[in-house]
């Protein structure tokens, strides 16, 4: 299981880079997400990484690291575990 920290929510959505989602989906790993300043965590199982997508950005972003590949942002509705 991978832990991911998100800096902020926007309209109750969290954004994760498409390369991170793809990496964990192909490795069949789940992901635990925390948001700075908000208590609670959200766990996405391997299946939920593909089924709970709220939207995918139409714009591709360029990685700031040398040799980095372009990525899109994948949004999920924030719903912390009980």
Q: Is the residue at 45 inside a domain? A: yes
Predicted local confidence at residue 3, as pLDDT: 92
Predicted local confidence at residue 64, as pLDDT: 87
The 3-class SS string of the chain reads CEEEEECCCECCEEEEEHHHHHHHHHCCCCEEEEECCEEEEEEECCCHHHHCEEEECCCCECCCCCCCCCECEEEEECCCCC
Q: Is the residue at 12 inside a domain? A: yes
Instruction: Give the residues of the chain that fall short of pLDDT 70.
Output: none
Predicted local confidence at residue 2, as pLDDT: 87
Whichever domain contains 23, its CATH number is: 2.40.240
Q: Is the residue at 82 inside a domain? A: no
Q: Is the residue at 16 inside a domain? A: yes
Q: Quick one: what percent of the chain has pLDDT higher than 70?
A: 99
Counted domains in the chain: 1
Q: What is the pTM of this model?
A: 0.86
Q: Is the residue at 63 inside a domain? A: yes
Q: Is the residue at 49 inside a domain? A: yes
Domain hosting 67: range is 2-77
Predicted local confidence at residue 63, as pLDDT: 87
Q: Is the residue at 25 inside a domain? A: yes
């Amino acid at each position: 299981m991978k832990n991911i920290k998100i800096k902020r929510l926007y309209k109750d959505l969290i954004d994760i880079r498409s390369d991170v989602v793809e990496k964990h989906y192909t490795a069949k790993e789940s992901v635990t997400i925390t948001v700075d300043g908000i208590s609670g965590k959200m766990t996405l199982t391997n299946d939920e990484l593909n089924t709970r997508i709220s939207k995918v950005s139409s714009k591709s972003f360029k990685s700031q690291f040398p040799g980095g590949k372009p990525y899109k942002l994948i949004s999920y509705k924030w719903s912390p575990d009980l």
